[in-house]
Structure 1
Amino acid sequence: METQHALNKARERLLAGLLPDGRWEGELSSSALATAVASFALKLAGKAELAERGCQWLESHRNEDGGWGDSPESPSNFTATLLCRCALDMETGDPQKLADEILHFYGEDRTFSVPILTMCMLSGKLGGDWSAIPQLPFELAVFPHKFYRFLNLPVVSYALPALIAIGLVRHQNKPSRWAFYRNGLVNRVLEILRRIQPESGGFLEAAPLSGFVAMSLIGGGFGDHPVTQACLRFLENTVRDDGSWPIDVNLSTWVTSLSVRALEGDLSDEQQNAIRDHLLKTQWTVEHPFTHAEPGGWGWTNEQGGVPDADDTAAALIALRQLGCETKVAENGLMWLMELQNRDGGMPTFCQGWGKLPFDRSCPDLTAHAIRACMAWRGKMDFNFWAAMEDSIQRGLQYLEKQQRPDGSWLPLWFGNQSNPKNENPVYGTVRVLEALVELDESEFPRAGNLKRRGFQWLESAQNPDGSWGSSVEETALAVGLTGKGVDKLLEMTGDGTRFLASPIGLYFASLWYSEKLYPLIFTVKALKRCATRQELGDE
């Protein structure tokens, strides 16, 4: 009865968050890094009042050690602290040493190091020698997108706006030997930037990327360009009442899909219809202007700046199977997923074949999620389509077999644990893989059996002495829902379904920590529901 009582309270709270248009919005933690970047871009644009509000928020959210972390609950780190000091015009040390530290810290991936160096330069922290900043080859943006994977770009697939804007500011301030060639392509790449900019003005609906683009274009002499002005409008429109910015506007599609699964059987027909209609509206039915992804996928947000990705597509497909929709919609989504699958059998986030840099490689949790999407729709597909899905699943299992660690666990890509010495979150990764494996018939997929047994052995051994897992409600709820163990601890941690403290377990681009207000609530509802069902069956 105690479990059921807590479930009723938590479920009521989650249902109360459903908006009239059929979605949950959630709330991402405010970000010191996003606030620093946005404030500095607005300062360069002459929007002093808004920039000052952001700086005041930074001043009031400084950690005791004098630095800043990605979220208010995060320990101080090098990148957030550096950019906050730039925004606040504080001392940052010797310019050459600073540049060397940044480049060494991020290695070959220029996705984040060059934007950081650019902000340091524009804020006067690197002297005036632009040669300290590597020249990003913005001219490569004129090539057809299908060739990008072969061009050995120094940034990941989603960073094309940064490649263009930051490449331009470096070129404008320190022309290279290729200056004549690059000069002839400036207008073309600016037009490309304009075409891929969403209606909101926010690239990826993210303050950091949009702020970096805006400050770079301003620093390159393009402050009046429509792309710059649109970025600035986005920053003005997305600032919070306290003067801060989150790393993205929301993860609405993601938390909506997860909420549907947690509330299975608890949604009225009217609610189900509204949610289904909303999810159908957010499926991409045309080629995406940014990544040129084929139609069929879903992004993380209901806003147009979101980019179709494997995790959100799988989540939406599973939710729609529960809500009911036309098989053709699912076929389009499943085909999108299968065509994204890498040669190694794993599922990347955005683009097939971009395996060299972080966030573009295959990963276990996304692979498992795609397997679950296939299994959810199995009974609705004809023989030929199922044969393709079955082949995809088998390849995914081969990948998961190779990625299972010696101790039996798996690591996720987009989630971590700040308390772990390596910031890894094997609890999240292992639970997500096991959720897929338990849905597979071992006689049909024999490889799943051994993977599953080893995974459960690790998960049970990883339970803390007090009954929790990891260091958060989120991790504990996920593990409790799968194993049925530790429910008393989960009830204690959530105040019997009344208190849900969100922890920064999420990782955004370039490993930025964030918390999502709905994660602990969604995961707890799902866990308590499973436990309540087990208890009922046991009573019978």
Structure 2
Amino acid sequence: MDRTEFQARVRQTLDQLRRELIADRGGAPHWTGRLSASALSTATAISALSVACRSRGAATSGEPCGSDRVAPRAEPEGDISPSLDTAPQDNDRYLMLVRRGCEWLLGQQNADGGFGDTDLSHSNIATSYLVLAARTLAADLLEDLAADPRLSASQESLRAYLETAGGIPALRERYGTDKTFVVPILNNLAVAGLVPWSDVAALPFEAAVFPQSMYRFLGMPVVSYAVPALVAIGQAKFCRSGCLPPWSWVRRSAIEPSLKVLEKMQPGSGGYLEATPLTAFVVMSLVDTLSTSPQPNGARDRIIEQGLRFLQESVDEEGSWPIDTNLATWVTSLSVAALASDPADQRDWSSDAMIDWLLSCQHTRRHPFTGADPGGWGWTDLSGAVPDADDTPGAIVALGKLRDVAGAQRLARIDAACADAKEWLLGLQNRDGGWPTFCRGWGKLPFDRSSTDLTAHALRAMATMPTCPRSETATRKGLRFLRAAQQPDGSWLPLWFGNQDRPAEDNPVYGTAKVLVDAPAELGVDCISQGIAYLLGSQNADGGWGGGDSVARLHHAGGLRSSGGPPNGGGERGGVTTSTVEETALAIESLASLWGSISGPEFSESSGFASQSPSLTASTRDAILAGSEWLVRAVAAEQHRIAWPIGFYFAKLWYHERLYPLIFTTAALGRVATLPFVSGADHDDTP
């Protein structure tokens, strides 16, 4: 194929992607996207709603919460929970949602008997245990569900999977010392009567009464975002198991103050972080405390009521729940940057309303959830969002792309918002030079550490703004962190994304691509060259990146159409696609963004690459061309409409986002369209 034909195919594909992405907004000034339905989220919602229904008939021993002897669960003797004495139609709605959720779950079980987080995910022990607990609680409520032979057969298969997977010890091993998710799962199982309460670790809910600025010094066994679960589950465990005086007196006196903290942290939507699992864990745990403490408690009752409202309002049409409501701010920022990467882009898709919406998503008050200062952006415009170090840089970059179409008044607002955001980012940087997600210096648990993808994103955002001594110092420290975090093979590992086909479930393709895209020369020629070499060495035989056996199996099963013959005559593994659109696009975007540097003299003579054949420059060019050809074929085969679970939510919860493959491919081919060996700016006619 000559260059003219290749250029035309890239342009045609890019124009198609742009039309689809722009049209996806509908009549809104921004993008919303769609997160995958989640068996894990659905299971936790079913459990919370089932426990709420069950509580209407629960009795109590009358012992105070956290009494020094453990009160057994009494048999139902009528409604003893005034806080949940809802109208009959409310209970009917809960039962309807429970029934629909269980029906949806019946279609999600994998061949091995287990459940994965999404419809494209491998089975995992955490989700499988949560499904077991949810259906156990639901069957106790609904006689017809309990008698359904489909449920019985499914539960039998599920129990066999859990036994083969290693049971509770394997569940504990999956999360190690991080109790953020393993304790909620065991709490859910205990609420369902599947494990004794002694299996649930006690959590220091009383620590929540301390100022938020002290949290990182208290050595809490959960990450920053999990404080609501710490309070609710900690109280449920205490009410069930108690402890010895005098500590029991201290803990009992902390119940009311910690509930007030929990209520203050609850957003207007009722959903903590807009997340079904976290909200469901809080609801089911606080409802369970009614079994030993039925006395009305205003804060507790309001938290439960608002949480149940969130669960009712966030259910999908098919009866399932996503891992979070949406990522509207994040996908809008990504979409703006992707469309603007096209050299022919005229910003005709932008509008004043888009700028106003993005500016409106900035947090302008101290955040009650994390105590974050004003100035950051969260992942959605909804009330449960929390400002973080990924969405804030994303918004800065997007607003920078929109400056050309902003009038004087909006330009001033953009500059002021970005200046505040820059200060917010500078205040979040950790001592090691990297950026964490929410809270500076919180602790050592995975989702509170500095991360490479967030750090690189923060540095890119600050590079688009005027410098100052403080930002120059922060940049030097951030680059030093990235150099230190590079793996021996040249890759970087991200925090928020993974690859389910890798044993460690990490995603070095994503991490490396995100560090390298528009990487400054100050990162170091050696460092950049090693990262490039990693991407070149990890390119799949089909021309793409990432993926693995699960992609190939879906292809064999007919879930993916063939993307055509292999690039440049190479062979595809087993004759099927093994790569993902998302990871391929990310790799291409990063390599294309560095082409001007790669083809410069400082790279051709560095790091021993000049002595290799072919050279770094030629190898990179070949990889870009092969990957671009793969993407063009993938779009023709409509593979960009099949999102893959590369996203990590908190605590290794997988998700896929419908817009990721479309956005990432638009950004990648936009970059490719600028390259001289594609656009015709050089004189080499061999694409």
1:360 equivalenced with 2:436 (yes/no): no
CA distance in 1, matches of 2:504, 2:662: 26
Q: Does the 8 A contact of 1:83 with 1:116 survive in 2?
A: yes
Correspondences of 1:417-428 after superposition (within 5 Å): 417-428=499-510
Q: Does the 8 A contact of 1:206 with 1:249 survive in 2?
A: yes
Structure 2 counterpart of 1:156: 223
Structure 1 counterpart of 2:671: 530
Deviation string for 1:479-515 (max 9, x for gaps)? 1223333211111122167842210000000101111
- Name stretches of at least 5 consecutive residues in structure 2 with no aligned partner: 1-7, 54-93, 137-154, 404-410, 548-579, 592-623
Structure 1 counterpart of 2:289: 220
Correspondences of 1:107-126 after superposition (within 5 Å): 107-126=176-195
The alpha-carbon deviation at position 180 of structure 1 amounts to 1.4
Deviation string for 1:193-228 (max 9, x for gaps)? 111100000000000000000000110117970100
Q: Measured at CA, do residues 98 and 172 of structure 1 come closer, stay the same or move farther in structure 2, by a change above 3 Å?
A: farther
Structure 2 counterpart of 1:40: 47
Structure 2 counterpart of 1:185: 254
Shifted more, 427-436 versus 504-513: the winner is: 427-436
Deviation string for 1:324-350 (max 9, x for gaps)? 243221111011111111111111111
1:14 equivalenced with 2:61 (yes/no): no
CA distance in 2, matches of 1:527, 1:183: 56
Paired residue type of 1:77: N
Q: Does the 8 A contact of 2:270 with 2:310 survive in 1?
A: yes
The alpha-carbon deviation at position 116 of structure 1 amounts to 0.6
Two-structure CA RMSD over aligned residues (Å): 1.9
CA distance in 1, matches of 2:422, 2:261: 30
Q: Measured at CA, do residues 303 and 19 of structure 1 come closer, stay the same or move farther in structure 2, by a change above 3 Å?
A: farther
Q: Measured at CA, do residues 190 and 409 of structure 1 come closer, stay the same or move farther in structure 2, by a change above 3 Å?
A: same
Structure 1 counterpart of 2:358: 279
Structure 2 counterpart of 1:66: 113
Q: Does the 8 A contact of 2:51 with 2:287 survive in 1?
A: yes
Paired residue type of 2:491: S
Structure 1 counterpart of 2:512: 430
Q: Measured at CA, do residues 4 and 539 of structure 1 come closer, stay the same or move farther in structure 2, by a change above 3 Å?
A: farther
Structure 1 counterpart of 2:128: 81
The alpha-carbon deviation at position 18 of structure 1 amounts to 2.0
2:199 to 111, 128, 132: 132
The alpha-carbon deviation at position 539 of structure 1 amounts to 6.6
1:205 equivalenced with 2:205 (yes/no): no
Structure 2-normalised TM-score? Answer: 0.74
Q: Measured at CA, do residues 192 and 27 of structure 1 come closer, stay the same or move farther in structure 2, by a change above 3 Å?
A: same
Q: Does the 8 A contact of 1:298 with 1:309 survive in 2?
A: yes
CA distance in 1, matches of 2:679, 2:531: 27
SS in structure 1 opposite 2:435? coil
Paired residue type of 2:652: S
1:229 equivalenced with 2:305 (yes/no): yes
Q: Does the 8 A contact of 2:215 with 2:442 survive in 1?
A: no
Paired residue type of 1:199: G
Structure 2 counterpart of 1:242: 318
The alpha-carbon deviation at position 99 of structure 1 amounts to 4.8
1:507 equivalenced with 2:574 (yes/no): no
Paired residue type of 2:236: V
Q: Does the 8 A contact of 2:581 with 2:640 survive in 1?
A: no
CA distance in 2, matches of 1:36, 1:98: 18
Correspondences of 1:283-362 after superposition (within 5 Å): 283-324=362-403, 325-326=411-412, 327-362=415-450
The alpha-carbon deviation at position 54 of structure 1 amounts to 0.6
Structure 1 counterpart of 2:264: 195
SS in structure 2 opposite 1:513? strand
Q: Does the 8 A contact of 2:50 with 2:95 survive in 1?
A: yes
Paired residue type of 2:11: Q
User: Structure 1 residue runs of 4+, over 6 Å off?
Assistant: none
Paired residue type of 1:451: C
Deviation string for 1:335-380 (max 9, x for gaps)? 1111111111111111111231011001111111011001111xxx
1:50 equivalenced with 2:97 (yes/no): yes
The alpha-carbon deviation at position 24 of structure 1 amounts to 0.6
Q: Measured at CA, do residues 464 and 34 of structure 1 come closer, stay the same or move farther in structure 2, by a change above 3 Å?
A: same
Q: Measured at CA, do residues 11 and 539 of structure 1 come closer, stay the same or move farther in structure 2, by a change above 3 Å?
A: farther
Q: Does the 8 A contact of 1:10 with 1:497 survive in 2?
A: no
CA distance in 2, matches of 1:452, 1:10: 30
Structure 1-normalised TM-score? Answer: 0.93
Paired residue type of 2:123: S
The alpha-carbon deviation at position 102 of structure 1 amounts to 3.4
Paired residue type of 1:61: Q
Q: Does the 8 A contact of 2:389 with 2:425 survive in 1?
A: yes
Q: Does the 8 A contact of 1:481 with 1:528 survive in 2?
A: yes
CA distance in 1, matches of 2:652, 2:14: 33
Q: Does the 8 A contact of 2:518 with 2:590 survive in 1?
A: no
Shifted more, 511-520 versus 19-28: the winner is: 19-28
2:628 to 475, 480, 487: 487
CA distance in 2, matches of 1:499, 1:366: 25
SS in structure 2 opposite 1:507? strand
SS in structure 1 opposite 2:398? helix
Deviation string for 1:77-118 (max 9, x for gaps)? 100111111111247589xx9554433432221111111111
CA distance in 2, matches of 1:498, 1:205: 29
1:406 equivalenced with 2:488 (yes/no): yes
Paired residue type of 1:135: A
CA distance in 1, matches of 2:103, 2:125: 20
Shifted more, 209-218 versus 471-480: the winner is: 471-480
SS in structure 1 opposite 2:333? helix
CA distance in 2, matches of 1:132, 1:466: 48
The alpha-carbon deviation at position 454 of structure 1 amounts to 1.3
Structure 2 counterpart of 1:260: 336
CA distance in 1, matches of 2:116, 2:423: 40
Paired residue type of 2:352: N
1:476 to 581, 584, 589: 584
The alpha-carbon deviation at position 269 of structure 1 amounts to 5.5
CA distance in 1, matches of 2:251, 2:455: 40
Q: Does the 8 A contact of 1:7 with 1:497 survive in 2?
A: no
CA distance in 2, matches of 1:55, 1:390: 54
Paired residue type of 1:531: V
Structure 1 counterpart of 2:232: 165
- Name stretches of at least 5 consecutive residues in structure 1 with no aligned partner: none
Paired residue type of 1:72: D
CA distance in 1, matches of 2:175, 2:668: 38
